[in-house]
Structure 1
Amino acid sequence: MIKITSRSFVFTSMALAITAALDVAAQPMLEEVIVTATKREASMQDVPIAISMMNGEKIMEQGIQSLEELAIFMPNVHIAEGGAGDQLFIRGVGSGINYGFEQSVGTFIDGVYFGRGQASRSTFLDIERVEVLKGPQSTLFGKNTVAGAINITTRRPTDEFEGVVEATLEPEFDGWSTTLTLSGPLNDNFGARLVLKQEETDGYMSNTFTGDDERTVENTVGRLVLAWTPSDSLDVTLKYETGETKARGRQDVVSIATDFAVGRYQAADPNFSAGFGYDKSSKNIGGVRPDTDVHDSEWNIVTLTAEWLVGEHSIKSITGYVDYEFSNYLDSDYGPLAFLGRGRDEKHEQFTQEFLLSSPTGGTIEYLAGLYYQSEELEHERYTDAVLSAAGIGTGSLDASGLGNFEQDAETLSAFTQLTWHISDSFRAIGGLRYSADEKEMTKDAFVTDLFTDTPNNQLAGIYDQVLNFSTDHFMGPDGATVCEGVAYVCTDYPDFDNERTESHWTGDVTLQWDATDEIMTYFKVGNGYKAGGFDEANGRGLIDAQEYGDETVLSYELGAKLDLLDGRARMTFAAFQSEFEDLQVSAFDGNAGFIVGNAAESEVKGLEVDGMLAITDELTFMASLAYLDASYTSFEDAACNEPQVQEFIAAGGARADCLQDLSGEALQFSPEWSAHIGLDYATQLGSNMELRMGLDAMYSDAYEVANDLDPAVAQGSFSKINARIALLSLEDTWSVAVLGKNLTDEATTTWGNDVPLAGQGFSETYFQHIDAPRSYELQVRYRF
Structure 2
Amino acid sequence: MIKQHTIPKALPSNLPFAQSPLVLSLCLAATILSPQLQAQTLEEVIVTATKREQGLQDIPIAMSVMNSEQLSQSGIVGLDDMSSHMPAVHITEATDGDQVFIRGIGSGVNFGFEQSVGTFIDNVYYGRGRNARFAFLDVERVEVLKGPQSTLFGKNTIAGAINITTATPKENFESYVQANYNTELEGRELTGMITGPLSETVFGRLVAKSYEDNGYVENTYIGEDGPQMDTWAARGSLLWHATPDLSLTLKVEKGEFDVVGRPQMIGKASDTAISLYRTAYPDFDPDFNFERSMANLQGPGSRQGEYDETDSNIYQLTIDYQLDDHTLRSVTAYTDYSFELFKDADYSPLEITAQTRREEHKQLSQEFVLLSPTGQTLEYKFGLFFQDTDLEHHEEVDISLSNLGAAGLPIPPLDGSSNHTFTQEGESWSAFAEFTWNVSEQFRTIVGIRQSYDEKVMTNTTFMGEFQNPTEPDAFLCQVYSDALGFIKCFTFDENTPNFDNRRTEQHTSGSIALQYDFDSSMMAYLNLSNGYKGGGYDESNRLASVENEEFDDETVESLEIGLKADLLDRRLRLNLAAFYSEYDNMQVSTFDGNSSFVVGNASESRVQGAEGDLEFAWTDSITVNAAFSYLDAEYTSFPNAACNAEQEASWSENGPCRQDLSGAPLQFAPEWSASFSAEYTRSLTEFWDLQVNATANFMDDYEVANDLDENLRVGSYWKMDARVALHSSDGHWMLALLGKNLTDEKVLAWGNDVPFGSLGFAETYHMQIDPPRSFEIQARYNF
TM-score by length of 1: 0.96
Shift in Å at residue 9 of structure 1?
2.9
Residue 380 of structure 1 aligns with an amino acid whose one-letter code is: H
- Checking the alignment, whether the CA contact within 8 Å between 1:388 and 1:394 is kept in structure 2 is no
1:648 aligns with 2:664: no
Residue 341 of structure 2 aligns with an amino acid whose one-letter code is: N
Q: Partner of 1:205 in structure 2?
A: 217
Distance change >3 Å, CA 773–CA 44, structure 1 → 2: same
Cα distance in 2, alignment partners of residues 201 and 4 from structure 1: 34
Q: Partner of 1:285 in structure 2?
A: 297
Shift in Å at residue 171 of structure 1?
2.1
1:55 aligns with 2:67: yes
1:437-586 equivalence runs, <5 A: 437-453=453-469, 454-479=471-496, 481=497, 494=498, 496-586=499-589
Distance change >3 Å, CA 469–CA 18, structure 1 → 2: farther
Distance change >3 Å, CA 297–CA 234, structure 1 → 2: same
SS at match of 1:465: helix
Q: Partner of 1:245 in structure 2?
A: 257
- Checking the alignment, whether the CA contact within 8 Å between 2:718 and 2:746 is kept in structure 1 is yes
Cα distance in 2, alignment partners of residues 115 and 58 from structure 1: 26
Distance change >3 Å, CA 269–CA 595, structure 1 → 2: same
Distance change >3 Å, CA 582–CA 576, structure 1 → 2: same
Distance change >3 Å, CA 96–CA 58, structure 1 → 2: same
Cα distance in 1, alignment partners of residues 133 and 313 from structure 2: 14
1:9 aligns with 2:19: yes
- Checking the alignment, whether the CA contact within 8 Å between 1:133 and 1:150 is kept in structure 2 is yes
Cα distance in 2, alignment partners of residues 216 and 171 from structure 1: 14
Distance change >3 Å, CA 76–CA 628, structure 1 → 2: same
Q: Partner of 2:381 in structure 1?
A: 368
Cα distance in 2, alignment partners of residues 330 and 436 from structure 1: 39
Shift in Å at residue 8 of structure 1?
2.0
Distance change >3 Å, CA 463–CA 548, structure 1 → 2: same
Cα distance in 2, alignment partners of residues 601 and 610 from structure 1: 30
Residue 111 of structure 1 aligns with an amino acid whose one-letter code is: N
- Checking the alignment, whether the CA contact within 8 Å between 1:296 and 1:326 is kept in structure 2 is yes
1:411 aligns with 2:427: yes
1:588 aligns with 2:604: no
Shift in Å at residue 396 of structure 1?
6.5
Cα distance in 1, alignment partners of residues 447 and 170 from structure 2: 36
1:23 aligns with 2:22: no
1:332 aligns with 2:345: yes
Distance change >3 Å, CA 187–CA 545, structure 1 → 2: same
Cα distance in 2, alignment partners of residues 541 and 405 from structure 1: 14
RMSD: 1.5
1:294 aligns with 2:307: yes
Residue 134 of structure 1 aligns with an amino acid whose one-letter code is: K
Shift in Å at residue 4 of structure 1?
8.1
Residue 244 of structure 1 aligns with an amino acid whose one-letter code is: E
Cα distance in 1, alignment partners of residues 178 and 154 from structure 2: 37
1:620-639 equivalence runs, <5 A: 620-639=623-642
1:39 aligns with 2:51: yes
Cα distance in 1, alignment partners of residues 74 and 402 from structure 2: 48
Distance change >3 Å, CA 576–CA 757, structure 1 → 2: same
Q: Partner of 2:702 in structure 1?
A: 703
Cα distance in 1, alignment partners of residues 196 and 311 from structure 2: 28
Residue 547 of structure 2 aligns with an amino acid whose one-letter code is: I
Q: Partner of 2:327 in structure 1?
A: 314
- Checking the alignment, whether the CA contact within 8 Å between 1:402 and 1:446 is kept in structure 2 is yes
Q: Which moved more, 1:458-467 or 1:413-422?
A: 458-467
Distance change >3 Å, CA 717–CA 188, structure 1 → 2: same
Cα distance in 1, alignment partners of residues 309 and 136 from structure 2: 17
SS at match of 2:343: strand
Cα distance in 1, alignment partners of residues 551 and 490 from structure 2: 18
Q: Deviations over 1:193-250 (max 9, x none)?
A: 0001110011110111111111111001100010001222112100000010111110
Shift in Å at residue 739 of structure 1?
0.4
Cα distance in 1, alignment partners of residues 542 and 209 from structure 2: 39
Shift in Å at residue 118 of structure 1?
2.2
SS at match of 2:279: helix
Residue 530 of structure 1 aligns with an amino acid whose one-letter code is: Y
Shift in Å at residue 394 of structure 1?
5.8
Shift in Å at residue 166 of structure 1?
0.5
Residue 432 of structure 2 aligns with an amino acid whose one-letter code is: F
Cα distance in 2, alignment partners of residues 176 and 462 from structure 1: 51
- Checking the alignment, whether the CA contact within 8 Å between 1:185 and 1:192 is kept in structure 2 is yes
Cα distance in 2, alignment partners of residues 686 and 773 from structure 1: 34
Residue 331 of structure 2 aligns with an amino acid whose one-letter code is: I
Cα distance in 1, alignment partners of residues 38 and 323 from structure 2: 46
Q: Partner of 1:305 in structure 2?
A: 318
Shift in Å at residue 307 of structure 1?
0.5
Extract unaligned runs of 5+ from structure 2: 8-15
Cα distance in 1, alignment partners of residues 36 and 596 from structure 2: 62
- Checking the alignment, whether the CA contact within 8 Å between 2:702 and 2:716 is kept in structure 1 is yes
Distance change >3 Å, CA 566–CA 262, structure 1 → 2: same
Extract unaligned runs of 5+ from structure 1: 482-493
Distance change >3 Å, CA 474–CA 289, structure 1 → 2: farther
Shift in Å at residue 174 of structure 1?
1.2
Shift in Å at residue 293 of structure 1?
1.6
Shift in Å at residue 441 of structure 1?
0.2
Q: Partner of 1:400 in structure 2?
A: 416
Shift in Å at residue 22 of structure 1?
8.1
- Checking the alignment, whether the CA contact within 8 Å between 1:66 and 1:120 is kept in structure 2 is no
Q: Deviations over 1:450-501 (max 9, x none)?
A: 201223211111111122111100011122x2xxxxxxxxxxxx2x321000
Q: Which of 315, 332, 343 matches 2:356?
A: 343
Cα distance in 1, alignment partners of residues 667 and 183 from structure 2: 38
Q: Which of 278, 282, 291 matches 1:266?
A: 278
Distance change >3 Å, CA 135–CA 15, structure 1 → 2: farther
- Checking the alignment, whether the CA contact within 8 Å between 2:371 and 2:380 is kept in structure 1 is yes
Q: Which of 122, 127, 133 matches 1:115?
A: 127
- Checking the alignment, whether the CA contact within 8 Å between 1:266 and 1:272 is kept in structure 2 is yes
Cα distance in 2, alignment partners of residues 21 and 107 from structure 1: 43
- Checking the alignment, whether the CA contact within 8 Å between 1:695 and 1:726 is kept in structure 2 is yes
- Checking the alignment, whether the CA contact within 8 Å between 2:134 and 2:233 is kept in structure 1 is no
Distance change >3 Å, CA 418–CA 461, structure 1 → 2: same
SS at match of 1:128: strand
- Checking the alignment, whether the CA contact within 8 Å between 1:286 and 1:338 is kept in structure 2 is no
Q: Deviations over 1:689-743 (max 9, x none)?
A: 2111110010000000000100000111100000000001112220111000000
1:600 aligns with 2:612: no
Distance change >3 Å, CA 14–CA 550, structure 1 → 2: farther
Residue 731 of structure 2 aligns with an amino acid whose one-letter code is: E
Cα distance in 1, alignment partners of residues 275 and 6 from structure 2: 37
SS at match of 1:630: strand
Q: Which moved more, 1:3-12 or 1:498-507?
A: 3-12
Distance change >3 Å, CA 426–CA 247, structure 1 → 2: same
SS at match of 2:272: helix
Query: What is the number of residues matched between the two proteins?
Result: 766
Q: Partner of 1:381 in structure 2?
A: 394
